[in-house]
Amino acid sequence: MADRYHHGSLRAQALRVAAEIVADEGPEALSLRDLARRAGVSHAAPAHHFGDRRGLFTALAAEGFELLGDALQPSVDARDFARTAVAYVEFATAHPGHFAVMFRPSLLDPDDAVLHEAQARAAGLLQAGFDSVPDDRIRIGREDARQASWALVHGLADLMLSGALPGADLERLTLAAARQLLGDDA
């Protein structure tokens, strides 16, 4: 069993396997013991790295927010809100295990500094993406439009992940939703 600890980062391996389990079976199905078995590590290894399930979910969510930030950055740099919306939904469908825990506060440690930092970065990028929309494109209050935009892309991501939109063209549908909310030049 000692060799198992030397095949790369044990923590990264555990997070990868945890994301797969959550994506396939939901967060309720994840136990540290099962994670250890599937990751090929000792039963004590996940507890050593994460403490408990809450610590594991918190680490998985923090990693998810970092990945989301990375996914959003190019569209934010381009000041293209519609592409930011597409990047959000594409992130969710590419990382369903992360997405499943990122917005579930009951699973997460509310005092975790790494999580807060990752959340703040992703939220800042989402805000910057929305800020690229000119005032004349917003038909309701700016804050209402920002929240509605997030609800729209988050809801669309949930619908895609749940299989409620089989065969839907993710990019076309996301762009259409963004433009419906904020106008043709969103």
Q: For residue range 23-67, list pLDDT tens digits in order.
A: 999 999 999 999 999 998 888 989 999 999 999 999 999 999 999
Q: To the nearest 10°, the Cα dihedral for 100, 162, 148, 62?
A: 10
Ordered alpha helix ranges (H), the chain: 10-25, 32-39, 45-50, 53-77, 81-94, 96-102, 113-131, 142-162, 170-182
Residue carrying structure tokens 């004349």: 136
CA distance 49 to 45: 6
Q: Given pLDDT bands bounded at 50, 70 and 90, which one contains residue 6? A: very low
Long-range contacts of 36-41 (CB under 8 A, 24+ apart): 39/10, 39/13, 39/14, 40/4, 41/1, 41/4, 41/5, 41/10, 41/13, 41/14
Sequence-separated (6 or more) residues with CB below 8 Å from residue 79: 132
Q: Which CATH superfamily is domain 52-182 in?
A: Tetracycline Repressor, domain 2 (1.10.357.10)
* Residues of the chain above pLDDT 70, percent: 94
Location of each CATH 1.10.357.10 domain in the chain: 52-182
Its pTM stands at: 0.90
CA distance 103 to 96: 12
Q: For residue range 103-132, list pLDDT tens digits in order.
A: 999 999 999 999 999 999 999 999 999 998
Q: Name the average pLDDT for the chain.
A: 91
Architecture of domain 1-51: Orthogonal Bundle (1.10)
Nearest one of 91, 179, 36, 146 to 103, comparing CA atoms? 91
SS3 of the chain: helix, strand, coil, percent, to 5: 75, 0, 25
What's residue 67's pLDDT?
Answer: 99
Sequence-separated (6 or more) residues with CB below 8 Å from residue 45: 5, 10, 14, 36, 39
Question: For 122, how many CA atoms within 13 A lie in the half-sphere containing its CB?
Answer: 25
Location of each CATH 1.10.10.60 domain in the chain: 1-51
Residues 81-107 have a mean pLDDT of: 96
